[in-house]
Every structure is written in structure tokens, then in C-alpha cells.
């Protein structure tokens, strides 16, 4: 077993599989186009829990349960948990660890946390010493709005470019034992800051970071966009995807045939009034752990590049007039032929 470096930022992994996935979403996500492809859909945002933050922890716990069940394992078989969320001090991930009591590596890469976790877990498993790792990410609309924007009670007018933080969690059990999906390679992104300052337009701020990582992955591996059945960004949304397509075309890279976005596909933006689409760490985590993983297993896709994107700012930096640095991490996932 080994990790092989390819080019400047890409790593090929050896014998790393996804054995189980869990996806749990809130009611709005459960009314969207992907509603039939999640493991669980909550009837309301709190689902009987006393606060939005407690509800987010419960979302994550349920995603863990589904992933463990599908992987046919238990918590005592998990060597490490790698994950994060959007709240200060990643409290959802940290507080949840009080319950599962497994070694924890907490991450913050904003909405790019899930693919960062997948990438790091892949390299750790490929390097030897670990057998199974749980990777996760979660977010909750109300908890994030309270922290990052305004109290919901104000009823403020959202701009057309604003994203809707998903109430969602996704978890995957990754292992050195074969499973239906295999991690082929990982590209860790670098911070890209094009000077954007508007927290209600993170799609256009993150699009250059998405391009940078996609281009790096293709350069390092010698692949082209056509080598993938689909390239899914994390949460650029409808507007951000348009920016990325145009930006890539200006750089002589045509992504039009394969590019899509988790946040764009999570909601019917017009019917559900989500404007630009979904965002939050739970967005790409739940869409991958639910709909995308299923499409891979069923054979709709053979090879997928998941490129979650994150805006690395805080309410404090925004209020101080700072720009929004962004990052994207990419993971190539392939359908394992042995599991046809």
C-alpha cells in the first residue's frame, strides 16, 4: 500500500474503498429534485430537538448510523473520524464525538470540508496502519444563518446570488477492504482570493478556486474533462456554475459537457425560493453520500470528480472589510467493477 504523488498537488491512492454512505436531510431538501435519493428526510427543521444546534448534531448522528449500517460495521471498528461543520469551533463534529468516542480529526474548510476529509482519509488508509475511517460533514440552515448573516426573525430580503445553507449531513465509511466505490486520486487545493467581499455571492467568489483545482487535477493526472462522466462542484449554485464555465472557457478549458453542482441540483430554485441554490458543508456531503453514490453504484457514472468548494471567511473578517479567500479540494471516485 502506498500514496503516489502526481504533479504538484495530486495523490494517487492504493486500495481505498467506500463501503457505506449515509445521507440525512431536512424538509426543504426532502422536497427538492433529489428527494427520493436520501436515506432519511426530516419532517421539520428541529425534528423534536430543543435547538437548531442540537438538531444539527442529530442530523450527523443519523448519517453516521446509516453509513455504519451499510458498511456492516460498528463504531468499535472505526479507527478514526475525520470531519467538520460550519459552526464556530466545529461544535457539531466535536460534540458528536462525545458519543461515538473514536479518535477524531476535526476539520474546517468551510463548504469544502467533505472533500478535504475524503482526501486526507484516503491518504491515511493508503499509507497503512488504519483499516476503517469515517468521514463526515454537516450543516443546518437556521444555525448557520444565526451565525453568519442575520436573525431569521428579521425577514430580510435575500439577493438573487445568495445561497441557501442546506440542512443536511453526509457520512461515508472508507476502508482498505473492497467496497462498491474506490477512491482513485485526490487533489488538495490552494487558497485563491480574487477580491470578492460579498457574503451573499459566494458562488462567484469560489468559482476561480474550483477552476484552479480542476485544472490542477487534470494537469497532474494527464486527464481531460471527457475522462469523467461528471464533475460536480460543491456549492457554486446556478450563478457560480455559470461563472465557472465562462472562466474556464476563457482559460481554454471546456467543462460544459460534464460540469454540474451539488448546490444547484439540491433544490428547485424557482419553486423553492432558494435563489442561487444550496451551500454548507452538508450540501456536497449529503448529495454525494445519497444521489451521487447511488448513481455510481447503479452504473449511471463510471468515474466522478467531486470538487467541494469553500469560502474561508468569518463574520468578523467580513465586518472588518476583508476579502473572501476560497479553496476547493477534488476527489476522483470510480465504480468498482468487481461489485457489478
Of all residues in the chain, the percent with pLDDT exceeding 70 is 96
Instruction: Work out the average pLDDT over 35-42.
Output: 97
- pLDDT tens digits along 95-108: 999 999 999 999 99
| CATH of span 16-175 | 3.40.47.40
Domain 182-334 falls in which CATH fold? Answer: Peroxisomal Thiolase; Chain A, domain 1 (3.40.47)
Which regions of the chain carry the CATH code 3.40.47.40?
Answer: 16-175, 182-334
Give percent of the chain with pLDDT exceeding 90: 85
Confidence (pLDDT) at 125: 97
Residues 305, 214: Cα–Cα separation, whole Å: 9
The band of 149, judged by pLDDT with boundaries at 50, 70 and 90, is: low
Look-up of cell digits 453542482: 261
Farthest-apart Cα atoms in the chain, separation: 55
Contact between residue 135 and residue 93 where contact means Cβ atoms under 8 Å apart:
no
Instruction: Give me the mean pLDDT over the 182-205 stretch.
Output: 94
Q: What is the pLDDT of residues 219-247, one digit of tens each?
A: 999 999 999 999 999 999 999 999 999 99
Give me the mean pLDDT over the 152-178 stretch.
86
Q: Are strands 104-107 and 278-279 parallel, antiparallel or unpaired?
A: unpaired
pLDDT band at residue 273, thresholds of 50, 70 and 90? confident
Report pLDDT digits (tens) over 133-142. 999 999 999 9
Amino acid at each position: 500500500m502506498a500514496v503516489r504523488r502526481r504533479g504538484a498537488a495530486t495523490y494517487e491512492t492504493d486500495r481505498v474503498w467506500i463501503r457505506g454512505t449515509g445521507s440525512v436531510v431536512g424538509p426543504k431538501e426532502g422536497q427538492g429534485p433529489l428527494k427520493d435519493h436520501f436515506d432519511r428526510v426530516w419532517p421539520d427543521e428541529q425534528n423534536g430537538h430543543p435547538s437548531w444546534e442540537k438538531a444539527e448534531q442529530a442530523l450527523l448522528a443519523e448519517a453516521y448510523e446509516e453509513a455504519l449500517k451499510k458498511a456492516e460495521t460498528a463504531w468499535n471498528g472505526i479507527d478514526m473520524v475525520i470531519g467538520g461543520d460550519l459552526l464556530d469551533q466545529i461544535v457539531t463534529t466535536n460534540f458528536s464525538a462525545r458519543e461515538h468516542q473514536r479518535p477524531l480529526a476535526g476539520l474546517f474548510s468551510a463548504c469544502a470540508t467533505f472533500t478535504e476529509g475524503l482526501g486526507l482519509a484516503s491518504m491515511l488508509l493508503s499509507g497503512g496502519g488504519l483499516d476503517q475511517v469515517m468521514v463526515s460533514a454537516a450543516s443546518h440552515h437556521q444555525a448557520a444563518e444565526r451565525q453568519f448573516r442575520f436573525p431569521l426573525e428579521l425577514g430580510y430580503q435575500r439577493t438573487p446570488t445568495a445561497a441557501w445553507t442546506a440542512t443536511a449531513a453526509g457520512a461515508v465509511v472508507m476502508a482498505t477492504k473492497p467496497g462498491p466505490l474506490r477512491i482513485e486520486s485526490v487533489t488538495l487545493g490552494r487558497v485563491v482570493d480574487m477580491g470578492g467581499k460579498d457574503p451573499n455571492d459566494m458562488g462567484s467568489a469560489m468559482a476561480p478556486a474550483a477552476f484552479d483545482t480542476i485544472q490542477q487535477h487534470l494537469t497532474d493526472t494527464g486527464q481531460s474533462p471527457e475522462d469523467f462522466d461528471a464533475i460536480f462542484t460543491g456549492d457554486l449554485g446556478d450563478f457560480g456554475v455559470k461563472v465557472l464555465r465562462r472562466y474556464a472557457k476563457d482559460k481554454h478549458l471546456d467543462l460544459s459537457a460534464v460540469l454540474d453542482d451539488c448546490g444547484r441540483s439540491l433544490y428547485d430554485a424557482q419553486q423553492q425560493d432558494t435563489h442561487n441554490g444550496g451551500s454548507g458543508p452538508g450540501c456536497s456531503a449529503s448529495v454525494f453520500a445519497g444521489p451521487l453514490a447511488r448513481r455510481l453504484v447503479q452504473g449511471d457514472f463510471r468515474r466522478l470528480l467531486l470538487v467541494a468548494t469553500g469560502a474561508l471567511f468569518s463574520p468578523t473578517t467580513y465586518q472588518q472589510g476583508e476579502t473572501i479567500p476560497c479553496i476547493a479540494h477534488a476527489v476522483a471516485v470510480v465504480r468498482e467493477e468487481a461489485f457489478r
